[in-house]
Amino acid sequence: MIVDREPGHDALARAAELLRRAVRRRQPVAALTGAGISAESGVPTFRGSGGLWHGFRPEELATPAAFARDPQRVWEWYHWRRGLVLAAEPNPGHRALAVLEERLQDAFTLITQNVDGLHQRAGSRRVVELHGNLLEARCTRCGRVEPLAPEASGIPNCPACGAMQRPNVVWFGEPLPGAAWARARQAAATASVFLVIGTSAVVYPAAGLVEVAAAAGAGVIEINPEETPVSDLADSVLRQPAGEALPALLREAGIVPG
């Protein structure tokens, strides 16, 4: 592992070389993003400061048991988070990944644990959402998924059957959506370069994708200001905010003009 704490050093050169080679050969590239990529847009991560809401930890709210006990409170938390997301804008990290997709087309897969829709707003088209999307609600009876109106409040009801809706996200203890997980695994297993960006890599099974990619021989590039459990798997580590490291990586790899 080569670690860069400042732009312009060995790890950036190594990461750029891995990416440049993959782009030249049109080999598959995949990226896994977590809450850290949206931190510079002002959306709080769970584990950083700002993760608390009215003194509650996310683990106390983002569970089926919490929703069964007090759906009103859980919805209030999601309405608050949705407000933050709607007021936020994609940052240069999100935009760099949209540029990479434009360049690689279907040789690029963006896998996200985020539920904020900021990748799509930055222009990414083929986003694999492992944890759903908090801009949507899902019926607890018939399963129908609906976009939430920006002004939605309280406990919303299904327009089809009238039952209570829940946020269309994956909670702690729930399985990942099968189709998204299958696409993510396939992308990780076949990637020649795997970028892991802004995730604490402690939430399984998503974090296991890095192990799948590394075991299959991908060059792994980590972008995260902090060390994580998958840092040791990385060939190159950029210890910088994603909004700085990703544009620098694309410039260094010659994907955007320097």
Burial (CB count <10 Å: 0-12, 13-18, 19+), residue 219 = buried
Active-site residue (options: 9, 79, 119, 131): 131
* Integer Cα distance of 113 and 133 in angstroms: 9
Pseudo-torsion of CA 200, 202, 203, 209, nearest 10°? 90
CA-CA-CA-CA torsion sign (43, 57, 245, 235) = negative
131 included as an active-site residue: yes
| Binding to ligand NAD, residues 215-234 (CB under 6 A) | 223-226, 228
Q: Which is nearer to ligand NAD, 158 or 236 (CB)?
A: 236
Q: Which is nearer to Zn ion, 127 or 158 (CB)?
A: 158
In the stretch 25-54, what mask flags binding to ligand NAD with x, by CB under 6 A? ---------xxxxxxx--x-xxxx------
Chain contacts with Zn ion (rule: CB under 5 A): 139, 141-142, 144, 158, 160-161, 163
From 114, 120, 124, 168, residue interacting with ligand NAD (rule: CB under 6 A):
114
From 120, 199, 231, 236, residue interacting with ligand NAD (rule: CB under 6 A):
199
Pairing mode, strands 236-238 and 132-139: unpaired
Q: CB 160 → ligand NAD: shortest distance, Å? A: 27
Q: Which does 161 bind (CB under 5 to 8 A by kind): Zn ion, ligand NAD, none?
A: Zn ion
Binding segment toward ligand NAD, per CB under 6 A, in 95-103, 112-120, 176-184, 248-256: 112-120
* Integer Cα distance of 90 and 251 in angstroms: 19
Task: Render the burial of 54-69: b for 16+ CB within 10 Å, e for the rest.
Answer: eeeebebbbbeebbee
Q: What angle do CA 100, 125, 175 make, to 5 degrees?
A: 105
* Integer Cα distance of 118 and 91 in angstroms: 9
Q: Which is nearer to Zn ion, 159 or 173 (CB)?
A: 159
Q: Which of the residues are catalytic?
A: 131
Which residues in this chain contact ligand NAD in the complex, by CB under 6 A? 34-40, 43, 45-48, 113-116, 131, 198-200, 203, 223-226, 228, 241-242
